[in-house]
Amino acid sequence: MGINRNGTEVPNLQGETTMRLATTPLAIAATVLGAATAQAEKWDMPLAYAATNFHSENAAVFAECVTNGTEGALEIVTHPSGSLFKGNEIKRAVQTGQAPIGERLLSAHQNENILFGVDSIPFLATSFDDSVMLWQAAQPTIERILDEQNLVYLYSVPWPPQGLYFKQPVDSVADMQGIKFRSYNNATARMAELMGMLPVQIEAAELSQALATGVAESFISSGATGYDRKVWEHLTHFYEVDAWLPRNSVFVNKDAWNALDEAAQAVVRECADAADAEGLQRAKDYTQFTLDGLAEGGMEVGPPGDQLVEDLRAVGATMTEEWLSSAGDEGRAIVDAFNAL
Ligand code: PCA
């Protein structure tokens, strides 16, 4: 037991009894300070994707960086695969303080603010370099929107380019009619509709099961997610469409952030900047590795045929117009700034 500032006995970590009375201001300060350092903060960090996915591995390194950098005063513990909160629950959980920090695909929240969908405009930014530039143009606005939602933005990492998965060869949009299509955000659902498919929103963590049970027969995603979910067990074709590179962003509940002292905040910022850069490199490294993995699993992996490219461009043009008209001046300004880079 120890003594708190009122002179009453409180338990300490050693379970010892300290009969020192905190009578002088200095002693009180020392006792309070001692209590503050002894009371390490632990942050649970929900993640939606597989533990072996590069986003999750990157987040685990970020968590360790913070834990080590603060000498354990702030310990971050990651919870991958939607084990703490599912992907579609994470943002709300962090906003309301049920979780102090989390990672989420913000483009799935386009219904809250259309600008969250800026990374999922078809064929606008289709390479890692373009993805970085588009985010450079968008990040200040996204940070402001998150701030208005009680969230502090930390870092963001792109997924590899998005391609189409099927269980048969597909040469054009005409070949897709009526297929059940797994979506993960507004853009993927809209794309399915425009291509004559039937969208159903499913978490990546539940993708294998959805394919196994026939709830979904097709989807758009990275080679990474197909690889993570071993989709070669159910599907045969991956077309490298390079439609866009959506992002996962990491953010903190603002009250949890404000409760950290400046030194801890500085450590978190430093680790976040490192995670931003290292995550990008991991995404690049994971791209070819996972495409090779799909092929090794028995899938045909390659570019789409000319007719499919043409059909997808038409769908993309419609979606771009729709996004720009609902995103207004702010959306247009981001796209213009990106195009000017
Ligand atoms: N994987 C995630 C989002 C984008 C991606 O490549 C998913 O399919 O849920």
**Using one digit for the tens of pLDDT, what is the confidence trace for 184-216?**
999 999 999 999 999 999 999 999 999 999 999
For residue 312, name the pLDDT band (cuts at 50, 70, 90): very high
- Find the 205 Cα to ligand 1 centroid distance in Å: 10
| Residue with token string 């499913």 | 202
- For the residues 31-55, what does the mean pLDDT come to? 80
Site to substitute for ligand 1 among 157, 203, 225, 228, most atoms within 8 A of C-beta: 225
Look at the pTM and tell me if it is higher than 0.75: yes
Q: What is the pLDDT of residue 231?
A: 98
Question: Residue 22 and residue 38: Cα distance in Å, rounded?
Answer: 17
Give me the percent of the chain exceeding a pLDDT of 70: 89
Whether the Cβ atoms of residue 311 and residue 122 lie closer than 8 Å to each other:
no
- Find the 4 Cα to ligand 1 centroid distance in Å: 50
Q: What is the pLDDT of residue 20?
A: 40
pLDDT reading at 22 higher than 50: no
Whether the Cβ atoms of residue 186 and residue 244 lie closer than 8 Å to each other:
no
Question: Residue 252 and residue 41: Cα distance in Å, rounded?
Answer: 14
Of 208, 60, 212, which is closest to residue 221 (Cα–Cα)? 208
Closest atom of ligand 1 to 160 CA is 6
Site to substitute for ligand 1 among 49, 159, 191, 200, most atoms within 8 A of C-beta: 159
Question: Residue 119 and residue 115: Cα distance in Å, rounded?
Answer: 9
- Find the 275 Cα to ligand 1 centroid distance in Å: 19
- For the residues 134-150, what does the mean pLDDT come to? 98
Residues with CB under 6 A from ligand 1: 105, 159, 184, 204, 221-222, 224-225, 246
Residue with CA closest to ligand 1 atom 3: 221
User: Tell me, what amino acid is at 30?
Assistant: A
- For the residues 226-233, what does the mean pLDDT come to? 98
Strand partners, 2: 10
Strand partners, 251: 102, 153
| Residue with token string 């962090």 | 94
pLDDT digits (tens, 9 = 90+) for 88-133: 999 999 999 999 999 999 999 999 999 999 999 999 999 999 999 9
Question: Residue 135 and residue 115: Cα distance in Å, rounded?
Answer: 12
User: Tell me, what amino acid is at 235?
Assistant: L
Whether the Cβ atoms of residue 184 and residue 324 lie closer than 8 Å to each other:
no
Question: Residue 8 and residue 137: Cα distance in Å, rounded?
Answer: 55
- For the residues 27-46, what does the mean pLDDT come to? 65
Closest atom of ligand 1 to 182 CA is 8
Residue 2 or 234, more confident? 234
Phi, psi of 201 (to 5 degrees): -80, 125
Q: Which helix (H) or strand (E) holds 320?
A: helix 306-340
Q: What is the pLDDT of residue 288?
A: 97
CATH superfamily, domain at 7-158+247-288: Bacterial extracellular solute-binding protein, family 7 (3.40.190.170)
User: Could you state, in order of their start, the residue ranges of all structural domains in the chain?
Assistant: 7-158+247-288, 163-243+289-340
pLDDT reading at 289 higher than 50: yes
pLDDT reading at 152 higher than 80: yes
Whether the Cβ atoms of residue 146 and residue 152 lie closer than 8 Å to each other:
yes
CATH of 163-243+289-340, one of 1.10.490.10, 3.40.190.170, 3.30.360.10, 3.40.50.620: 3.40.190.170
pLDDT reading at 21 higher than 70: no
Whether the Cβ atoms of residue 207 and residue 216 lie closer than 8 Å to each other:
yes
Q: What is the pLDDT of residue 24?
A: 44
Which residues touch 130 (CB under 8 Å, ≥6 apart)?
124, 245, 338
- For the residues 319-329, what does the mean pLDDT come to? 97
Q: DSSP string spanning 198-218? A: EEEE--GGGHHHHHHHTS-SE
